[in-house]
């Protein structure tokens, strides 16, 4: 991390099939060894599975899943006078979306199942229905922030 200059935000392009930026952000999370085409293929398969299972628009379900998974507050470690406090901090929209995508992909990978497309589609459907591991992670984050509300005055 540079001390002189703040890092500039890179422009996020939309994906070629659905023309959606969220899918491109999800592609980056699933990416392994730089194989972007393979990651995109996995996502498109999972969106087709979602369409078959729910009979609804898969983009709407993905957006709803991300909206449900996005945390409002998180805790950040802050050292004050030799001791470390977990300070609750509000999450900005962009970071919240990134955390939601990260949690959805992480728990999709951990699921049991045959293919990554199937595991990802199941996790997205669960998140859109307000259950699943990614929703549990958001609730856990909110509980930690609530428990450490007393240290909110150490915010920076």
Question: DSSP of 70-136, one letter per residue?
Answer: --SEEEEEEEETTEEEEEEEEPPHHHHHHHHHHHHHHHHHHS-SS-HHHHHHHHHHHHHTT-SHHHH
Return the CATH number of the domain spanning residue range 21-154. Answer: 1.10.455.10
The pTM assigned to this predicted structure is: 0.90
- Specify the 3-state DSSP secondary structure of 9: coil
pLDDT band, residue 106 (cuts 50/70/90): very high
- The alpha carbons of the chain give a radius of gyration, in whole angstroms, of 18
Instruction: Give residue-wise pLDDT tens across range 39-63.
Output: 999 999 999 999 999 999 999 999 9
């Amino acid at each position: 991390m540079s001390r002189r200059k703040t890092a500039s935000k890179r422009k996020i392009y939309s994906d070629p099939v659905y023309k959606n930026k969220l899918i491109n952000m999800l592609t980056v999370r699933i990416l392994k060894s730089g194989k972007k085409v393979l990651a995109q293929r996995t996502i498109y398969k999972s969106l087709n599975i979602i369409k078959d299972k729910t009979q609804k628009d898969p983009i709407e379900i993905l957006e709803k899943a991300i909206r449900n998974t996005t945390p409002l507050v998180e805790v950040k470690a802050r050292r004050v006078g030799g001791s470390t406090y977990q300070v609750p901090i509000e999450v900005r929209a962009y970071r919240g979306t990134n955390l939601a995508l990260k949690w959805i992909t992480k728990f999709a990978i951990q699921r049991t199942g045959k293919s990554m497309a199937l595991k990802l589609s199941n996790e997205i459907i669960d998140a859109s229905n307000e259950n699943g591991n990614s929703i549990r992670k958001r609730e856990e984050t909110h509980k930690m922030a609530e428990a450490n509300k007393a240290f909110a005055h150490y915010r920076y």
